[in-house]
Structure 1
Amino acid sequence: MPNTSDQSNHNLVVVGSVAVDWVITPSAERKDSVGGAAVFFAMAAAPLAKVQLVGVVGHDFPQGSISDLEHAGVDLAGLERSDGLTFRWKGRYHENMNQRDTLETHLNVFEDFAPKLPQRYRESDFLFLANIQPSLQLAVLEQMDKRPRLVGLDTMNLWIDIARDELLRVLARVDVLAINQEEALQLTEEYNLVRAAAKIRELGPKTLVIKRGEYGALCFGPDGSMFCAPALPLDDVVDPTGAGDSFAGGFMGHLASTGDLSGDNVRRAVIWGSTMASCCVQDFSYDRLRGLTRDQVDARYRRFVDLTRF
């Protein structure tokens, strides 16, 4: 990752799912909970950067959520409207909120999703490829008019299992990979996370961020450095569905807002990711992220700084 910096707020494109979820937790339930990786990412990044969203929704997607995204300043020129039903997911969380069971998945309009970048998105300096098929992630990269300054990517165990070759091709073209610990070990067939990180960095991404839920995040930098950030201790976690995507939004949003890709600023970006994730889990859907001001997220960021100062 180049060690360059400027103070302009760069455009940040996110490509991913937009969904309507049915979320069941041990204490509550929400049947029509708007989610999807692109939505959580965009709402978390919006207080920090200028976000451009690429996704697809059906005729059943709530207009109120379109308004929420627009009010947050998210550019929706890349959001496709289709006649079918929106991607839907139903899941139940255990008493241990780190564990959940998927009860239903209905791809609907997402099954035929072929991302199309509006022309003004194609020269953006920052791009995040959220968790979608690796072939679609590659197709997005091919649509860019120039190589972005920073490309981030998320993936999941399903693609590691059934689309490994395509995933390896896209990994060779990205700068940052953000996945959880289980996925990192599965991808490399390792049992040791440090060795797994070294193998992943050999595949292409020079920066690896391991999301560890309530245990925080680990960042392996391009110079071989390691950085460990805690999660903010919370007395009530309502809905962790969008935590990882919100982390990615805060992480990429900070980098896009500063234009600074130095190692020190990447570490700050990890804290910004944890900051936005800690907000997200305190309510269903993106409710806690809606209407957040920069002053409010700055105050939450300072809580992380106080937590780790010694």
Structure 2
Amino acid sequence: MPLLAVGTLAYDDVYTPYGEVKMIEAGSCSYIAMAATQFVEPVQLVSVIGGDYNDDFLADLRRRGADLEGVEVIADGKSFFWSGRYHDDMMGRDTLDTQLNVLADFDPKVPQSYRATDYIMLGNLTPAVQARVIDQLDGRPKLIALDTMNFWMDIALDDLKAVLQRIDILIINDEEARQLSGELSLLTAAAKIVAMGPEILIIKKGEHGALLFKEDEVFSAPALLLAKVVDPTGAGDTFAGGLMGYLAATDDISFENLKRAVIYGSAMASFVVEDFGTRRMQGLDRGQIDERVQRFVRLMNVAL
């Protein structure tokens, strides 16, 4: 089963206690594709770039199994750019610069060949843009996942609530879950959010793992302790790419398989933070991924 991913292809300047990089290829579609193509092909990307985007990076995405028919190129435009500096504890960051450039007028056009895809990952964009993607799909896909953030809850809450009624999985972090629900308890927050529309909710808790909610079932996934976190940028998108890539590859949305998908997503996210941008992902093979998944399994294995 292919996976359709909608989001950004961007350039980042990133500063962390471990160094800095300038104009590194990034964006949600880059991270999602790097993770998902480890499990499924093709990963169909819908995004927009300027004529300045690195052709070699795009060629590498294609080689890995990404389909770029849905990537619009504005030849005389500049690609989306973000710059940020992480705090010493790597938990917080300050945005230094954001340049929307070609993203400011992004009107996603889903190619006809993508419209019957059953597995959809809507990256963090305006809720109105996410809704326009759903409008272009043929029929009802098997699984639509959506990522969002506090910013859209602040300025586009009604649009966000409308699109939540049209999706199956919402992927957010614990701070966002509390804001969206107005509840401090994540259990109570989850119940309120599921009532808004998504049947499945995944709450990311950073270095404390992730929570999966579906109906009356709850799964708590551990986090993997790492010796060094070099760059957390893209960890959430990589998690989503691993999760949805695994689900599309197995074509199984049972609760047991959702649990496995959360572990595979967590494993992929644990790799990406070990270097800047997608660098760590570029040399990965399935053997390394399976070994890391087994580390998660050993963390959860207990006999009583």
**Aligned with residue 63 of structure 2, among 71, 84, 106:** 71
- The DSSP-based 3-state class of the residue aligned with 1:289 is helix
Between the aligned partners of 2:96 and 2:282, the Cα distance in structure 1 is 27
Deviations 1:229-262 (CA, angstroms, capped at 9, x unpaired): 1111100111110100000011111110000111
Q: Work out whether 1:113 is the aligned partner of 2:106.
A: yes
Q: Work out whether 1:24 is the aligned partner of 2:15.
A: yes
Aligned to 2:133: 140
Amino acid at match of 1:208: L
Between the aligned partners of 1:258 and 1:151, the Cα distance in structure 2 is 16
Q: Work out whether 1:277 is the aligned partner of 2:265.
A: no
Does the aligned pair in 2 maintain the 1:87–1:106 contact within 8 Å?
Answer: yes
Aligned to 2:244: 252
Does the aligned pair in 2 maintain the 1:68–1:290 contact within 8 Å?
Answer: no
Deviations 1:202-244 (CA, angstroms, capped at 9, x unpaired): 00101100111111111111x2211111111100111110100
Q: Work out whether 1:40 is the aligned partner of 2:31.
A: yes
**Aligned with residue 144 of structure 2, among 144, 151, 157:** 151
Aligned to 1:4: none
Between the aligned partners of 2:283 and 2:252, the Cα distance in structure 1 is 26
> How many residues end up aligned between the 2 structures?
300
Q: Work out whether 1:88 is the aligned partner of 2:81.
A: yes
Deviation, structure 1 residue 295: 2.1
Deviation, structure 1 residue 292: 2.1
Aligned to 2:290: 298
Between the aligned partners of 1:125 and 1:291, the Cα distance in structure 2 is 29
**Aligned with residue 45 of structure 2, among 50, 53, 56:** 53
Aligned to 1:3: none
Question: Which stretch shifts more, 10-19 or 292-301?
Answer: 292-301
Amino acid at match of 2:134: L
Aligned to 1:169: 162
Deviations 1:94-151 (CA, angstroms, capped at 9, x unpaired): 0111111111100000101111111110000100111000001000000001111000
Deviation, structure 1 residue 308: 1.5
Deviation, structure 1 residue 59: 1.3
* 5+ long unaligned stretches in structure 2: none
- The DSSP-based 3-state class of the residue aligned with 1:30 is strand
Amino acid at match of 1:148: P
Between the aligned residues of both structures, percent identity stands at: 52
Amino acid at match of 1:300: R
Q: Work out whether 1:184 is the aligned partner of 2:177.
A: yes
CA RMSD in angstroms, aligned pairs only = 0.9
Runs of 4+ in structure 1 deviating by more than 6 angstroms, as ranges, are: none
Deviation, structure 1 residue 188: 1.1
Q: Work out whether 1:98 is the aligned partner of 2:101.
A: no
* More RCO (CA 8 Å, sep 6+): 1
**Aligned with residue 225 of structure 1, among 217, 226, 231:** 217
